[in-house]
Amino acid sequence: MQNLLVTGGAGFIGANFVHYMLATYPDLRVVVFDKLTYAGRTENLAPVAQHPNFAFVQGDICNLAQVQAAVAQDQIDTIVNFAAESHVDRSILDPDAFVQTDVYGVYVLCEVTRTLGLQRLHHVSTDEVYGPIPTGKFREDDRFLPTSPYAASKASGELIALSYFRTYGIPLTITRGVNTYGPYQYPEKAIPLFITNALDDLPLPVYGDGQQVRDRLYVSDHARAIDVVLRRGVLGEAYNVAADMEQTNLTVAQMIVAALGKPQSLIQFVKDRPAHDVRYALDASKLHALGWQPQVDFATGFAQTVQWYREQEAWWRPIKSGDYLAYYRQQYVER
Ligand code: NAD
Ligand code: DAU
């Protein structure tokens, strides 16, 4: 791996991955290819913008010619695909872009990998492809039963990619990560939304009774997991990425108001997400066997994340100053 194309690298996990790879591998060249949707922000790449081994291309993974041109121009040998519509609530209101990017866009990347003979396509997927699991943990060969249009589009994209491995033998690996948090996460997702609302003494909208459980992984651990699979993963295989740090949403909301010295009365229970998955949990022993373990426990990652949003108002305030949650008001009304 010498020339890496990171699709969706201007988003939350992609940008953190780019920071990590450039800091870790001095000889690696990294090109970010990103459409710059509402979630893609060049500010996320500011720490590496002047790096001699970094370049940025604006483009759409659904556009075959654009991806081919980017691959040819920089002699790309490896693609890591983070590009996606990623927010469940938006998918419930308007699934169109999810089917485009998360399914058709993955097909385009598979086609480019096949026709241009790339060394690797790594596809970043999610625990949501398995659907909810009230008790126990999913393993990689368990069936897919996704709930939301987002989860179904991610499952479909994976199935296209796996068909390209089986039919054409493209050099594919997949990771399925759990709920990830940390710096640069767009403040529509629960943790950054709750932190930035609490900083402004605004309500923290907890869906339903707040008893849904998520396993929460710090973003640098997610980035390292992808790097480990790029280097040591077996072609055609998927790897679960889990932190084993489960909490309910209500617990996280309570921790946030406590950490910021705000009253618990800021927590407001609102109308539940339709078909809200009660719990996700993954068994990551297959990835542990490659030598990966999470390094950041929830207490540490949580404290770092709260501190980052405290210090980076200049990053999030412009996002929140517009009507960025217009979609949200259509769907959720306070009880
Ligand atoms: P994000 O929404 O923050 O970023 C997505 C990025 O993709 C943005 O930069 C956006 O501009 C770009 N993009 C969207 N459509 C595109 C297109 N058609 N062409 C090119 N670029 C496009 O998402 P994230 O939270 O960083 O998630 C990254 C990936 O990881 C996604 O595939 C997501 O499904 C997966 N994932 C996320 C989590 C999580 O908790 N955030 C957990 C597991 C897996
Ligand atoms: O589990 C992996 C997935 O995690 C990724 O594949 C998705 O891209 C990512 O968005 C995330 O999905 P979730 O739906 O779990 O994340 P979100 O932050 O939207 O919600 C986390 C939990 O908090 C979920 O149970 C819904 C709840 N929630 C969310 C919001 C935005 C609330 O209670 N209130 C809120 O305002």
| Rg, Å, the chain Cα set | 19
Q: What percent of the chain has pLDDT over 90?
A: 95
Test site for ligand 1: of 37, 86, 316, most ligand atoms within 8 A of the Cβ: 86
**Which of the residues 128, 188, 221, 277 is marked catalytic?**
128
Asked if residue 285 is part of any domain, the answer here is: no
Mean pLDDT confidence for 25-51 = 98
Q: Mind listing the pLDDT tens digit for each residue in 6-37?
A: 999 999 999 999 999 999 999 999 999 999 99
Residue 42: burial class (beta carbons within 10 Å; 0-12, 13-18, 19+): middle
Mean pLDDT confidence for 155-162 = 98
Residue 250: which CATH number? Answer: 3.90.25.10
Asked if residue 138 is part of any domain, the answer here is: yes
> Do residues 81 and 132 make contact, with C-beta atoms less than 8 angstroms apart?
no
Q: Mind listing the pLDDT tens digit for each residue in 205-259?
A: 999 999 999 999 999 999 999 999 999 999 999 999 999 999 999 999 999 999 9
**CB distance 125 to ligand 2 below 6 Å:** no
In a shared domain, residues 223 and 271: no
Residue 218 a catalytic site member: no
Q: Mind listing the pLDDT tens digit for each residue in 78-133?
A: 999 999 999 999 999 999 999 999 999 999 999 999 999 999 999 999 999 999 99
Residue 298: burial class (beta carbons within 10 Å; 0-12, 13-18, 19+): buried
Q: Mind listing the pLDDT tens digit for each residue in 317-329?
A: 999 987 777 766 6
Q: What is the pLDDT of residue 322?
A: 76
CA distance 269 to 286: 38
Asked if residue 290 is part of any domain, the answer here is: no
CA distance 264 to 285: 37
Asked if residue 287 is part of any domain, the answer here is: no
In a shared domain, residues 23 and 172: yes
CA angle 56, 61, 64 (to 5 degrees): 110
Residue 140 a catalytic site member: no
What tokens does 291 get?
């030598």
- How far from the centroid of its chain's Cα atoms is residue 73's Cα? 27
Over the chain, what is the mean pLDDT?
97
> Do residues 83 and 124 make contact, with C-beta atoms less than 8 angstroms apart?
no
Residue 328 a catalytic site member: no
In a shared domain, residues 42 and 144: yes
In a shared domain, residues 192 and 312: yes
Q: Which atom of ligand 2 is nearest to the CA of 280?
A: 1
Test site for ligand 2: of 179, 267, 280, 282, most ligand atoms within 8 A of the Cβ: 179
Q: What is the pLDDT of residue 295?
A: 98
In a shared domain, residues 95 and 82: yes
What tokens does 75 get?
């002699």
In a shared domain, residues 64 and 208: no
In a shared domain, residues 231 and 251: no
- Cα-to-centroid distance, 319 and ligand 1 (Å): 17
Q: What is the pLDDT of residue 329?
A: 62
Q: What is the pLDDT of residue 324?
A: 74
- Cα-to-centroid distance, 176 and ligand 2 (Å): 15
Least confident range from 40-49, 56-65, 69-78, 319-328: namely 319-328
Domain range enclosing 207: 185-214+245-275+297-328
In a shared domain, residues 114 and 263: no
Q: Which atom of ligand 1 is nearest to the CA of 14?
A: 26
Q: What is the pLDDT of residue 122?
A: 99
What DSSP assignment string belongs to 109-160?
Answer: HHHHHHHTT-SEEEEEEEGGGG---SSS-B-TTSPP---SHHHHHHHHHHHH
In a shared domain, residues 129 and 227: yes
**Which of the residues 150, 164, 181, 184 is marked catalytic?**
150
Asked if residue 323 is part of any domain, the answer here is: yes
Residue nearest to atom 7 of ligand 2 (CA): 86
Asked if residue 13 is part of any domain, the answer here is: yes
In a shared domain, residues 205 and 80: no
Band of residue 330 on the pLDDT scale cut at 50, 70, 90: low
Residue nearest to atom 4 of ligand 2 (CA): 179
Residue 153: which CATH number? Answer: 3.40.50.720
Mean pLDDT confidence for 260-282 = 98
Residue nearest to atom 12 of ligand 1 (CA): 8
Looking at per-residue pLDDT, the higher value among 332 and 268 belongs to 268
Q: What is the pLDDT of residue 271?
A: 96
Asked if residue 79 is part of any domain, the answer here is: yes
Residues with CB under 6 A from ligand 1: 7-8, 10-14, 34-37, 39-40, 60-62, 82-84, 86, 101, 105, 124, 126, 154, 177, 179-180, 186
Residue nearest to atom 2 of ligand 2 (CA): 179
Is pLDDT at 262 greater than 50 in this prediction? yes
Question: Of the ligands numbered here, which is closest to the C-alpha atom of 99?
Answer: 1
Asked if residue 281 is part of any domain, the answer here is: no
Test site for ligand 2: of 249, 256, 266, 267, most ligand atoms within 8 A of the Cβ: 249
Is pLDDT at 334 greater than 80 in this prediction? no
Q: What is the pLDDT of residue 335?
A: 37
CA distance 219 to 226: 11
In a shared domain, residues 228 and 311: no
In a shared domain, residues 28 and 99: yes
Total domains in the chain come to 2
- Residue 141: CB atoms within 10 A of its CB come to 7
